[in-house]
């Protein structure tokens, strides 16, 4: 079983980061550092994002011949524009008319007027100019130089003592801020695949550590099948396990079935449990979804004395207003309740989260390997009086940190041509560049890439006309795979050469999640239980943003609150374009070396021997 996190409950509620729950007032005034920030309440109804905003219309990045035509003055600006459009593609975004991409209320831009202005500005942006975007609104263009980013983005950032959910919502209600999540407001979301390999890495490592290899014959139970959580059923089956997942939104469940992330739906909780138990006994890697609240599923497992082998959760607990659905409510009832009384709704949400975590702890005591999957549900439960909420660890200290120490993390790329063949060509190139004999994670990389294909043999032989995806692309064709320091820059160079030679039809956009080895400070998630106790130190995320700007990334972002909610994280993102030019080659080398190096620096400084050995092996310059 994973070791419990070393963080104490007291460490989770410092004066400077009181619980995210909102004060019980309806007026949208901004509250300073001496206000009572522990009272539970809610914002005015105007903080709720409606289903559609003024100016809404379908948006889609160019396809076909139009995708090969430059409409901006540089491919860097063109890529930023198309990736913004891709974030709002109906195949990608959860609520595109409301500009919500994923994560409850993670938006791409603040308004449709801002969207139009950003697109117009990017089309006219000179090769030596940079667009500035403040919480989804374009606020200025400055003269820089060709190697500078074409866009700089800052989303949701507040001075620490004012960084409460109440203050954020008050500003958002006045149209002054938006919640950018991680890749929503930084224009590099690629749908559920964006988190798929990271989720696979987590469950694969869980199988290796606890079950002697993989998850064969293991029942894995979880909740939340949205933009992030929707990766879980497929990731579990890729790791050879059997998945049982609950969600209150039938639309989400059906979408995952249609996109081949979820295998089947059961008509009731008991039938879902029976089906999943039978599949696990037969060692069948298959996923079962059920329309239900995760709490009801867990409590029914307890009643029936059925103990999952693995237990986690990816409901939207980071957002008790727009994300989480309290026990006893359907999805439609929740929508009506939050609009009618946001304060009461949040109270019900956080009380339900306490009940949710108590059920997880009860199953853990019965033998389930239990971990938090980064939605801050333990913190919410702790705030509601569940003193042992942090009994089970987060997924990063339990399974992922050894990879962070090597600069490994979620490297992703997108074909601006809109042609799936371009992704197949890059997949083939990745397999050739990183052979199975190449290191401890090389076999897993090959297994992952091949598992993305319905006809892996066609990929291995380079017969791209016969390649087909195992699961559907959402929006522009894209791929993700975890690569580390010394690997990402090689991949970037290979992609740039493919563009230059014409083997792919248009430039390739290369980015990553903000959930990366050296780009985030999140004490309840990525930086939980750091060896030297620096869980809450956010200097590293700021340094990461500055390093990527200095290195020449195509656009760089710095956000607050992604994944775990306002007050609980700061994080940086970068995106760089491989357009086939020598100038791009130089930028790719710098960015894709320096960005993962920040993860090695961060973990070496914290005292991790693996990171220190990696720094020595990669000849990083660490002054002391």
pLDDT tens column, 498-534: 999 999 999 999 999 999 999 999 999 999 999 999 9
CB atoms closer than 10 angstroms to residue 278: 12
Domain spans, the chain: 82-189+400-618, 193-392
Confirm whether 82-189+400-618 and 193-392 share one CATH topology: no
Structure tokens at 588: 């790719």
Q: Which CATH number fits domain 82-189+400-618: 3.40.640.10, 3.30.230.10, 3.40.1770.10, 3.30.565.10?
A: 3.40.1770.10
From CA 368, how far away is CA 361, in angstroms rounded? Answer: 9
Q: Which CATH number fits domain 193-392: 3.40.50.1860, 3.40.50.10730, 3.40.50.2000, 3.90.850.10?
A: 3.40.50.10730
| Cβ partners under 8 Å of residue 545, min gap 6 | 519, 556, 557, 558, 572, 574
- Cα dihedral 329→334→337→338 (10° resolution): 140
Residue 275: in which H helix or E strand, if any? helix 269-281
pLDDT digit string, tens, across residues 464-492: 999 999 998 999 999 999 999 999 999 99
Q: Contact 381/389 with Cβ under 8 angstroms?
A: yes
State the catalytic residues. Answer: 481
Structure tokens at 219: 């029942």
Average of per-residue pLDDT values in the chain: 92
pLDDT digit string, tens, across residues 24-67: 334 457 776 655 444 433 444 456 888 899 999 999 999 999 99
Q: What are phi and psi of 220, to 5 degrees?
A: -115, 120
Which of the listed ranges 193-197, 225-229, 444-448 does the model predict with the highest average pLDDT? 444-448
DSSP E strand stretches across 333-387: 369-370
| Cβ partners under 8 Å of residue 293, min gap 6 | 223, 246, 248, 325, 327, 328, 329
**pTM, entire model:** 0.90
**Helix axis angle, 294-303 to 342-365, nearest 10°:** 30
pLDDT digit string, tens, across residues 536-590: 999 999 999 999 999 999 999 999 999 999 999 999 999 999 999 999 999 999 9
């Amino acid at each position: 079983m994973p070791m419990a996190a070393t963080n104490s409950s007291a460490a989770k509620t410092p004066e400077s980061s009181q619980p995210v729950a909102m004060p019980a007032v309806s007026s949208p005034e901004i509250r300073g550092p001496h206000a009572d920030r522990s009272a539970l309440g809610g914002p005015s109804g105007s903080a709720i994002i409606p289903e559609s905003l003024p100016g809404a219309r379908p948006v889609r990045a160019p396809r076909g011949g139009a995708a090969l035509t430059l409409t901006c003055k540089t491919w860097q600006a063109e890529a930023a524009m198309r990736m913004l459009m891709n974030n709002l593609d109906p195949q990608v975004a959860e609520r595109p008319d409301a500009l919500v991409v994923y994560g409850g209320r993670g938006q791409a831009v603040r308004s449709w007027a801002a969207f139009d202005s950003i697109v117009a500005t990017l089309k006219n942006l000179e090769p030596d100019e940079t667009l500035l975007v403040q919480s989804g609104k374009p606020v200025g263009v400055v003269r820089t130089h060709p190697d500078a980013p074409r866009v700089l983005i800052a989303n949701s950032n507040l001075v620490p003592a004012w960084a409460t959910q109440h203050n954020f919502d008050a500003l958002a209600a006045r149209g002054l801020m938006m919640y950018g999540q991680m890749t929503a407001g930084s224009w590099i979301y690629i749908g559920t695949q964006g988190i798929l390999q990271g989720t696979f890495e987590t469950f694969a490592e869980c199988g290796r550590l606890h079950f002697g290899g993989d998850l064969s014959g293991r029942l894995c139970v979880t909740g939340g099948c949205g933009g992030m959580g929707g990766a879980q059923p497929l990731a579990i089956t890729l790791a050879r396990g059997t998945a049982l997942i609950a969600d209150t939104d039938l639309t989400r469940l059906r979408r995952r079935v249609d996109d081949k992330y979820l295998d089947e739906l059961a008509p009731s909780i008991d039938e879902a449990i029976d089906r999943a138990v039978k599949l696990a006994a037969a060692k069948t890697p298959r996923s079962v979804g059920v329309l239900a609240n995760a709490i009801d599923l867990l409590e029914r497992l307890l009643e029936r004395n059925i103990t999952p082998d693995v237990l986690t959760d990816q409901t939207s607990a980071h957002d008790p207003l727009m994300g989480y659905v309290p026990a006893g409510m359907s999805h439609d009832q929740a929508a009506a309740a939050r609009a009618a009384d946001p304060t009461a709704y949040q109270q019900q949400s956080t009380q339900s989260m306490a009940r949710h975590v108590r059920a997880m702890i009860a199953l853990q005591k019965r033998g389930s390997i239990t971990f938090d999957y980064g939605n801050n549900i333990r913190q919410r439960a702790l705030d509601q009086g569940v003193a042992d909420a942090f009994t089970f660890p987060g997924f990063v200290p339990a399974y992922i940190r050894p990879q962070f120490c090597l600069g490994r993390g979620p490297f992703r790329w997108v074909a601006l041509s809109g042609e799936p063949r371009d992704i197949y060509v890059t997949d083939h190139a990745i397999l050739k560049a990183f052979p199975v004999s190449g290191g401890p994670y090389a076999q897993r990389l090959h297994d992952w890439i091949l598992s993305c294909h319905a006809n892996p043999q066609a990929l291995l032989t380079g017969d791209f006309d016969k390649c087909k995806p195992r699961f559907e692309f959402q929006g522009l064709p894209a791929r993700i795979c975890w690569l580390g320091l010394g690997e990402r820059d090689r991949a970037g160079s290979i992609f740039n050469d493919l563009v230059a030679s014409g083997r792919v039809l248009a430039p390739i956009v290369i980015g990553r999640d903000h959930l990366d080895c050296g780009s985030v400070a999140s004490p309840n998630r990525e930086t939980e239980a750091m060896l030297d106790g620096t869980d809450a130190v956010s200097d590293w995320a700021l340094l990461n943003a500055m390093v990527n700007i200095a290195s020449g990334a195509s656009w760089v972002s710095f956000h607050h609150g992604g994944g775990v909610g306002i007050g609980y994280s700061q994080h940086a993102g970068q995106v760089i374009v491989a357009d086939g030019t020598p100038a791009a080659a130089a930028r790719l080398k710098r960015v894709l070396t320096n960005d993962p190096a920040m993860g090695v620096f961060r973990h070496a400084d914290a005292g991790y021997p693996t990171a220190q050995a990696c720094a020595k092996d990669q000849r990083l310059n660490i002054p002391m």
